[in-house]
Chains A and B, each alone.
Chain A
Amino acid sequence: MKRKKAHILKWTLYVLGFILVAVLQYTPHFLPSILSGRPLFLIPCVIALSMQEGEMPGAFYGVLAGLLCGSLGGGLIGFDALFLMFFGVAAGLLVKFLFRNNVVSVLIFTLVFTFFLEVVTWFFFYNLYGDNDFLFAFLQDILPTSLYTLLFAAPVYWGVRKLGSRFAEEE
């Protein structure tokens, strides 16, 4: 019974944590922008959770994070969810088969996945509407956003790891 309670509490805390992080990500003036770049906290959250809990929880929390992005950010609902689900699966599988579960891995995944999502977003929402200046987008938004997000990868990883390992003892 105690084990079940701890189990429910852990997943509930993850959900609440994701909602809080999503709200902060979209709160005006919460953090200053660097050029046009602002941090996307939810990406390292999905990656860290997937590394800690496995690819399936990572995938479903990726969907949750993506739906939060689509709803709070006013974007195309489902777009971010699809990619964040993919990031959750990819991070979980990579840690299982190829990478070690450590802070270096989370830094690499965060940089690569954020960069990838930013490029895809630029392609679908700007390039397809006639914007061909990739260099401008790269310097003004894609690179600053990727590096800015990277700053938060390690603290998020340690936070999720601590929470996960605390409940692992009880489970």
Chain B
Amino acid sequence: MSDVREFFNSWRFRILAVVALLLLGLMLHAATSAGASVPGSVIGVVVSPVQKLSATISDAATNFLAGFTDYSKVKKENDELKKQMAQITSKLVNYDTVVQQNQQYKSLLGLHDENLGLKYMPSMVISRDPGPWFSAFSIDKGSLDGIQKNDPVETPDGLVGYIAKVMPTTSVVTTLLDPSSEVGAIISRTSDICISQGTRELAADGLLKVIYIPRDSGVSKGDVIITSGIGGMFPRGLKIGTVQDIKLDTNGMSLYAVAQPMVNLTSVKSVMVITSFKGKASDISASASAGADSDPSGDAGSDGAGT
């Protein structure tokens, strides 16, 4: 026991106490400042090439093995896609006529196609948060590539999330599943304004919650949810997900829906960061609560922490 006491009275313990205080200070600095800390950035720059290599090898191995292990799943998916294709082909019969008519009406009314001015930066997922719910991952592009905090992140299938932290050569993406993620949204078919948010319970199943849907909304299963563009954090029209279930909110005033994101957020391997778009807010607060501006009830709001 005297040996233990000796340790606590030794210079070694004092050094460790100083290091612990320095780490505490570093932690507080990182928690209170908007950007990434210097040690984090340095480690990121040094290690990101190794991460990129590791992710490339891992992806290649996963893809190779998936060909054998997912055979029945792929076959089932193939059958479903064939059915969908048949349905789409039948819908396409009138497509050309409708497009032509649309062009004629536009020219008659003097309307022009909206240019959203989207600028993309393709990126690769190089690491994943091993913590709960896959709510964050890192990509191989950072501030040196023109990426800024709160830039939207998507794939051709739909919205993935937003940039939560930027380092020189890497960035951290918080996904739609994260409980701090709130995105101003519209139900495409009914034009009802709502908010898509992550909840931990649904995130475990890879699902989202869509809140503040008006009670008299005609929302139904299969409806597509898109970004509203209100607030200036996300451009309008990015696909978020499809409605899977609709329920009455506990307050009885509105509906909420459970939605399946368009993108499989737990397995996405490459993404595109939207570095610029028309209507982008020049000064978005660190809160990253895009939905706050578009909250119909005016009381939305987590503060973007807890990733």
Chain A contact residues, CB within 8 Å of chain B: 19-20, 22-30, 35-36, 38-40, 55-56, 59-60, 63, 66-68, 70-79, 81-82, 85-86, 89, 93, 96-97, 121-122, 125-126, 128-129, 131, 133, 136-137, 140-141, 145
Contact = CB atoms under 8 A, between A and B. Distances in A.
B146 interface: no
Contacts of B269: 28
Nearest to B200: A131
Interface stretch (B54-62, B181-189, B252-260, B285-293): B54-62
B132 A36 contact: yes
A74 B132 contact: no
Interface in B55-84: 55, 58-59, 62
Contacts of A22: 47
29 contacts: A19-B50, A23-B127, A26-B128, A27-B51, A27-B55, A27-B127, A28-B267, A36-B204, A39-B130, A40-B130, A67-B39, A67-B43, A71-B39, A71-B47, A72-B43, A73-B131, A73-B138, A74-B164, A75-B129, A77-B26, A77-B36, A78-B25, A97-B4, A125-B306, A129-B180, A131-B200, A136-B200, A137-B200, A140-B132
Contact of A72 (B19, B47, B179): B47
Contacts, number: 161
Contact of B302 (A89, A128, A129): A129
9 tightest CB-CB pairs across the interface, nearest first? A78-B27, A74-B172, A26-B127, A71-B43, A38-B130, A78-B26, A129-B306, A77-B40, A141-B132
Interface string B250-275: 00000000000000000101000000
B307 interface: yes
A75 B58 CA distance: 22
Interface in B128-177: 128-134, 136-138, 164-165, 167, 172
B43 A28 contact: no
A78 B131 contact: no
Contacts of B19: 59-60, 63, 85
A87 B57 CA distance: 32
A28 B132 CA distance: 14
Contact of B16 (A40, A70, A85): A85
A23 B130 contact: no
Nearest to B12: A56
Interface residues of B, number: 57
B165 A28 contact: no
Residue among B125, B179, B306 with max Cβ neighbours from chain A (10 Å): B306
Interface string B105-132: 0000000000000000000011111111
Residue among B25, B51, B128, B180 with max Cβ neighbours from chain A (10 Å): B128
B132 A137 contact: yes
A49 B47 CA distance: 22
Contact of A29 (B25, B31, B62, B133): B62
B127 A73 contact: yes
Nearest to B164: A74
B302 A28 contact: no
Contacts of B85: none
A133 B200 contact: yes
Contacts of B129: 26, 73-75
B30 interface: yes
A25 B55 CA distance: 11
Contacts of B30: 70, 76-78
B59 A28 contact: yes
B27 A126 contact: no
B135 to A, nearest CB: 10
Contacts of A56: 12, 15-16
A97 B62 CA distance: 45
A125 B307 contact: yes
A24 B126 CA distance: 10
A70 B7 CA distance: 29
B131 A75 contact: yes
A147 to B, nearest CB: 14
